[in-house]
Amino acid sequence: MGVSATQSLPRLAAAGAIVLFALLPAAGLPAFYDSFLYLVFFWISLATSWALLSGFAGYFSLGHAAFFGVGTYTTATLTTQLGMNFLPTVPIAAAMAALLGVGIGAVVFRMKRLRGELFALLTLAVTFVVATIILNTPIDGGAGVFMSAVPLPHILPTATGTIYMLGFIMCVLTLGIAWSVVHSRLGMGLFAIHDDEDVAEAKGVPTFRYKLAAFGLSAGIAGAVGGIHAMYVGFLTVAGTFELSVPLYVVLMSVLGGARHWLGPAVGATFITALLYAFISGGEAMVGRAIVGLILIVAILWLPEGVLPAIKQWLKRRRRLARPETRAAVVPVVPPAAQPIKDRSLLEVRGVTKRFGGLQALDGVDLDVRASEILGLVGPNGSGKTTLINAISGFYPLTSGSIRIDGVEIGQTPAHEIARRGVARTYQIPRPFANMSVLDNVSLCATFGGPARSRAEIRDEAMHWIVFTGLDGKEEALPAGLNLHERKFLELARALAARPKLLLLDEVLSGLNPAEIDNAIRLVRAIRAQGATIVFVEHLMRAVVELSDRVAVLNEGKLFALGAPREVMRDPRVVSIYLGKAYAA
Amino acid sequence: MPSATLLGQALISGVLAGGMYGLLGLGLSLSWGLLRLVNLSHFALAFLAAYLTYELGTNYHVAPWWSAAMVVPAMFAIGLLQHWLFDKFRVNELASLLITFSFAIILEVAIQLYWTADYRRFETHYSTLSIKAGPFYIPVLELVLCTVAGVLAWGTWLWLRRTYVGKALRAAAEDADIAAAYGVDHKKLAYLLSGLGAAYAGVAGTFIALIATLAPAQIWTWLGVVFAVVIIGRLGNPLGALFAGFLIGASESLAMAVFSPAWAPVVSFSVLIAILLWNPEWA
């Protein structure tokens, strides 16, 4: 019974709340309640829409007033100047705001390494620009806009009731959107972007598109909320619409409630709105503002994750205390017979050059890797091994040359496309998504890297690789709770869950002790036995000789030697680049 | 098109007004560029200093330079206090932005509770003094402001370039851990720099009291422009902030003369967005 009861209880509660609030105007409460509850809905919608981009993906915007304001003035202009009906202007307001958001995103998200605080200030700057334009054009003209002549639709008999209902519908819609984003690929991708954008892209998340989608959605909801709010306010001014308190409160509410949870901003919004209302009705609006500021400071310093996640974590810890943790022993992996190496080349690297300013990191590298082969990539420090891995996985665009996978050119393809074509990689220093459990880390890579599958299949697949790499029992742990050895194996599990055709391993063995190395070598063999082609960068010669079918030596960005492991490693020229000429006997 | 005299006058007053942007930007640029802390309360501190100067001047008849001698060290102390908070909680850039935003709001409320929301003006006999140069008028106070801003910016620049402390600070901004491994006491320097940034806000506040009409909400009027100035002048570069201030001040003033005063706010952000589009690595 347990599963179905715990799953259906929140659903029942949500349905109950919706029915209750929908029927509330029929109870004939004084108009005061209508307008207070409208304000709660208003802030829930705004704060939740802010969190869609800023909380989920981690790009803090201080420009939410711009999108809200564009929506407000779209509705105002369409109704008062063009005589449109109110209701159809709301989706137009949403569209205009979304357009602005996507437009800004298309510019700023192209910047490499857009720093968070810069994004925050740029969005703030946009608010000033939009406000100035509206102030100086006939949209407002500085005189303000009266909305009183615009007829409200007859949803409910009273005007306050109708506005209440509009705000309520908007609020339910917004929360519904937030919930479905969290439980979709988009949400998963956004959370990954929040933790480590480069890795998200390498694992197959189309980061640019996802950020744009989140920005458009966030701005669009704010625009629709603004359109409705125009009717509530009645008289619009630029100063009142593009107020700094909009971004301040929205950030505060989300951060307080928990910006990474779909319901967090709603919790914060309800609390803060009630607090502000208490101060305003007590005639102490200014003091209320100061107290809100104080709460924000305290919240950021002591509860950086927000109230809701803190409660969730506390509940989880209690549940874990009740259920003793099962720690499975590491299962040794027995390598089945290796697959024969095929004649067909899976990876073709031709004349690949990569320059960083004056530094020639790769200088015309040619390399073929045959299907089902294990190729060891060695060379002294700075010889270009990791750069080549980065180039193949699409992290760096090539300066010149071409790279083909299965005959398809990928030299200029974005990293997430390459990941979808079956290339997976690990990082020398593990880069797990810090706020996701081990299971979520692996599931994300299965979702975005591998073939399309159902949620249950992805979970099974992820669990399979977690067991395969000996991480079972740790699937609910956060990466911070793993030791280096386990984190290296998590890197492997993430790469494997994408079911790669080509697996690029960047020093998976460094930092491991001899027993762990033996285990890792067995793992790599087992991976190959399942049909993957492997290129691995390694300094540990024992592993290179044991594992590789062929070894490629890079030196100063050029392919220096290529051949069977033992012969290459005995080649005096190779010895001399490693140890200096004196040893090259 | 306005006459040449009018444009010339607009250019002069624009550059002089830009001196204020530069002066306000100075402290902001230092803490953002070298400490990776974005201090939005910088503006509130400047206004607190301005209100204190006003209070001392109108009620106790203290000359502004004497009140500056008291206010500026007090601001230095507030800067130290703020940094203690950031240091204790290991605050990152984004959190510093939100915390100082809230801090600014609290200061704004405090100012409004004490001095009310009414406009306040510190009247001095030299506030309208100006030099006549050919057909142009040059207001003396603004000229003094620009000179002080220039001296501070240049002095800070030399300090960062030439002295050990300056080099250590720049090294710590690039990589605090590595700098610490080479013996740079980053923490102490960070306190010094935070205090200095707040002290510069105090200097700016003295001039705000003399030049502008004070109201609590005015705290936010320069926020956008000065941030644009700081980014255009490149973070952590005091001379850059000053020259960007002059540039933005002049362009705003010309835009006001040619188009309409209400269009001025668009200028700085258009310049900023254009620069970032041209070179995304600028900031």
- What local confidence, expressed as pLDDT, does residue B283 receive? 65
pLDDT digits (tens, 9 = 90+) for B108-121: 999 999 998 889 98
C-alpha span between A75 and B135 (Å, rounded): 50
Q: Which of A197, A217, A243 is the last residue of a domain?
A: A243
pLDDT band at A320 (very low <50, low <70, confident <90, very high): low
- Given B113, B265, B280, which is nearest A286 (Cβ)? B113
- Residues of B within 8 A of A293 (CB-CB) are 101-103, 105-106, 109
Is A117's CB within 8 Å of B93's CB? Answer: yes
Residue A439 has pLDDT above 90, yes or no: yes
Q: Answer yes or no: is A326 within a domain.
A: no
Is B103's CB within 8 Å of A297's CB? Answer: yes
- Given A132, A251, A292, which is nearest B263 (Cβ)? A132
Angstrom distances, CA of residue A192 to CA of A125, A205, A207: 27, 8, 9
Angstrom distances, CA of residue B95 to CA of A65, A117, A248, A255, A325: 20, 9, 13, 11, 36
Phi, psi at A503, each rounded to 5°: -115, 125
- Given B110, B266, B273, which is nearest A132 (Cβ)? B266
Question: Higher pLDDT residue, A93 or A281?
Answer: A93
Tell me if chain B has a CB within 8 Å of the CB of A562. no
Question: Higher pLDDT residue, A403 or A154?
Answer: A403
- Residues of A within 8 A of B86 (CB-CB) are none
Angstrom distances, CA of residue B160 to CA of A204, B26, B193, B238, B280: 44, 13, 11, 9, 25
Return the residue of B nearest to A286 by Cα: B109
Structure tokens at B166: 């300056």
A183, HSE (Cβ side, Cα atoms, 13 Å)? 7
Q: How large is the average pLDDT for residues A160-165? A: 90
Q: Give how far B89 is from chain A: nearest CA, Å.
A: 7
Question: Higher pLDDT residue, A158 or A8?
Answer: A158
- Given A120, A125, A133, which is nearest B97 (Cβ)? A120
Strands (E), B110-176: 130-133, 136-139
pLDDT digits (tens, 9 = 90+) for A491-538: 999 998 988 999 999 988 888 888 888 888 888 888 888 788 999 998
Is B38's CB within 8 Å of A289's CB? Answer: no
Q: Using the Cα atoms of residue A94, residue A95, residue A100 and residue A103 in order, give the sign of their dihedral.
A: positive
- What local confidence, expressed as pLDDT, does residue A85 receive? 93
A375 forms beta bridges with A535, A550
- What local confidence, expressed as pLDDT, does residue A5 receive? 53
- Residues of B within 8 A of A287 (CB-CB) are 109, 113
Average per-residue pLDDT in chain B?
Answer: 89
Which chain B residues touch A if contact means CB-CB below 8 Å? 32, 38, 85, 89, 91, 93-95, 97-99, 101-103, 105-106, 109-110, 112-113, 220, 223-224, 227-228, 231, 260, 262-263, 265-266, 269-270, 272-273, 276-277, 280-281, 283
C-alpha span between B206 and B152 (Å, rounded): 14
- Residues of B within 8 A of A114 (CB-CB) are 280
- What local confidence, expressed as pLDDT, does residue B60 receive? 92
All structural domains of chain B with their residue ranges = 18-219
- What local confidence, expressed as pLDDT, does residue A570 receive? 84
Phi, psi at A354, each rounded to 5°: -140, 120
Return the residue of B nearest to A142 by Cα: B262
- What local confidence, expressed as pLDDT, does residue A585 receive? 46
User: A-B interface: how many C-beta pairs under 8 angstroms?
Assistant: 102
Q: Answer yes or no: is A183 within a domain.
A: yes
Question: In this structure, are A369 and A231 located in the same domain?
Answer: no
- Given B97, B99, B105, which is nearest A290 (Cβ)? B105
User: Which of A226-235, A409-418, B15-24, B131-140 has the weakest average pLDDT?
Assistant: B131-140
What 3-state class would DSSP assign to B139? strand
What is the DSSP code (8-state) at residue B132?
Answer: E
Q: How large is the average pLDDT for residues A50-73? A: 94
Question: In this structure, are A69 and A192 located in the same domain?
Answer: yes
pLDDT band at A417 (very low <50, low <70, confident <90, very high): very high
Q: Give me the numbers of helices (H) and strands (E) for chain B, helices first please.
A: 11, 2
C-alpha span between B270 and B137 (Å, rounded): 29
Q: Using the Cα atoms of residue A152, residue A154, residue A155 and residue A158 in order, give the sign of their dihedral.
A: positive
Please report, to the nearest 10 degrees, the dihedral formed by the alpha carbons of residues A555, A558, A562, A566 taken in order.
0
Question: In this structure, are A51 and A182 located in the same domain?
Answer: yes
Structure tokens at A122: 């740029």
DSSP B29-52: HHHHHHH----TTHHHHHHHHHHH
- Given A125, A136, A289, which is nearest B105 (Cβ)? A289
- What local confidence, expressed as pLDDT, does residue A336 receive? 56
What 3-state class would DSSP assign to A384? coil
Is A128's CB within 8 Å of B265's CB? Answer: yes
Q: How large is the average pLDDT for residues B224-232? A: 89
Residue B201 has pLDDT above 90, yes or no: yes
Residue A331 has pLDDT above 50, yes or no: no
Q: How many domains would you assign to chain A?
A: 2
Q: Which domain holds residue A63?
A: 30-243
- What local confidence, expressed as pLDDT, does residue A326 receive? 45
Tell me if chain B has a CB within 8 Å of the CB of A138. no
A423, HSE (Cβ side, Cα atoms, 13 Å)? 29
Q: Answer yes or no: is A307 within a domain.
A: no
Q: Answer yes or no: is A441 within a domain.
A: yes
Give the distance, in angstroms, between the CA of residue B242 and the centroid of all CA atoms in the same chain: 9
- Given B91, B112, B269, which is nearest A125 (Cβ)? B269
Angstrom distances, CA of residue A8 to CA of A4, A11, A172, A548, B163: 6, 5, 19, 53, 68
Amino acid at A425: R
Return the residue of A nearest to B104 by Cα: A293
Q: Which of A185, A216, A243 is the last residue of a domain?
A: A243
C-alpha span between A8 and A4 (Å, rounded): 6
A378 forms beta bridges with A553
Q: Answer yes or no: is A23 within a domain.
A: no
Average per-residue pLDDT in chain A?
Answer: 87
Q: Token match 């010309």: residue?
A: B254
Percentage of residues of chain B with pLDDT beyond 90:
49
Angstrom distances, CA of residue A516 to CA of A427, A430, A465, A542, B218: 18, 16, 17, 14, 64
pLDDT band at A338 (very low <50, low <70, confident <90, very high): low
- What local confidence, expressed as pLDDT, does residue A101 receive? 96
Residue A403 has pLDDT above 80, yes or no: yes
Q: Give how far B103 is from chain A: nearest CA, Å.
A: 7
Q: How large is the average pLDDT for residues A70-90? A: 94
- What local confidence, expressed as pLDDT, does residue A539 receive? 84
Q: Give how far B125 is from chain A: nearest CA, Å.
A: 34
Interface subset of A 282-341, CB within 8 angstroms of B: 286-287, 289-290, 292-294, 296-297, 300-301, 304
- What local confidence, expressed as pLDDT, does residue A276 receive? 83
Closest to A449 measured CA to CA, from A214, A199, A187? A199
Percentage of residues of chain B with pLDDT beyond 70:
99
Q: Cβ(A268)–Cβ(A255) under 8 Å?
A: yes
Residue A558 has pLDDT above 80, yes or no: yes
- Residues of B within 8 A of A303 (CB-CB) are none
pLDDT band at B22 (very low <50, low <70, confident <90, very high): very high
- What local confidence, expressed as pLDDT, does residue A185 receive? 93
**Strongest mean pLDDT among A203-217, B107-121, B217-231:** A203-217
Phi, psi at B61, each rounded to 5°: 55, 40
Instruction: State the first-to-last Cα distance of chain B, in angstroms, to the nearest integer.
Output: 35
Q: Cβ(A387)–Cβ(A354) under 8 Å?
A: yes
pLDDT band at A3 (very low <50, low <70, confident <90, very high): very low
Question: In this structure, are A106 and A234 located in the same domain?
Answer: yes
Closest to A239 measured CA to CA, from A140, A126, A146? A140
Mutate to test the interface with B, among A62, A129, A250, A291 (most CBs of B within 10 A): A129
Q: Answer yes or no: is A295 within a domain.
A: no
Residue A70 has pLDDT above 90, yes or no: yes
Structure tokens at A392: 């193949």
C-alpha span between A281 and A466 (Å, rounded): 57
Is B272's CB within 8 Å of A125's CB? Answer: yes
Residue A332 has pLDDT above 50, yes or no: no
Q: How large is the average pLDDT for residues A464-487? A: 89
**Strongest mean pLDDT among A467-476, A552-561, A563-572, B76-85:** B76-85
What 3-state class would DSSP assign to A414? coil
Q: Give how far B225 is from chain A: nearest CA, Å.
A: 9
pLDDT digits (tens, 9 = 90+) for A372-382: 899 999 988 88
CATH assignment of the domain containing A426: 3.40.50.300
Q: How large is the average pLDDT for residues A89-112? A: 92
pLDDT band at A487 (very low <50, low <70, confident <90, very high): very high
- Given B99, B224, B276, which is nearest A124 (Cβ)? B224
Residue A562 has pLDDT above 80, yes or no: yes
Question: Higher pLDDT residue, A56 or A34?
Answer: A56
- What local confidence, expressed as pLDDT, does residue A2 receive? 43
Percentage of residues of chain A with pLDDT beyond 90:
41
Q: Using the Cα atoms of residue B241, residue B242, residue B243 and residue B249 in order, give the sign of their dihedral.
A: positive
User: Which of A81-90, A217-226, A430-439, A509-518 has the weakest average pLDDT?
Assistant: A509-518
**Alpha helix segments (H runs only) across A303-437:** 307-322, 385-392, 415-420
Mutate to test the interface with A, among B87, B103, B105, B267 (most CBs of A within 10 A): B105
Q: How large is the average pLDDT for residues A336-348? A: 77
Q: Answer yes or no: is A17 within a domain.
A: no
| Burial (CB count within 10 angstroms: exposed 0-12, middle 13-18, buried 19+), residue B148 | middle
Percentage of residues of chain A with pLDDT beyond 70:
94
Q: Which of A211, A227, A243 is the last residue of a domain?
A: A243
Residue A324 has pLDDT above 50, yes or no: no
Residue A107 has pLDDT above 90, yes or no: no
Q: Cβ(B233)–Cβ(B240) under 8 Å?
A: yes
Structure tokens at A364: 């015309």
Is B106's CB within 8 Å of A290's CB? Answer: yes
Question: In this structure, are A36 and A159 located in the same domain?
Answer: yes
C-alpha span between A406 and A466 (Å, rounded): 28
Residue A88 has pLDDT above 80, yes or no: yes
Question: Higher pLDDT residue, B159 or A3?
Answer: B159
DSSP A467-486: HHTT-TT-TTS-GGGS-HHH
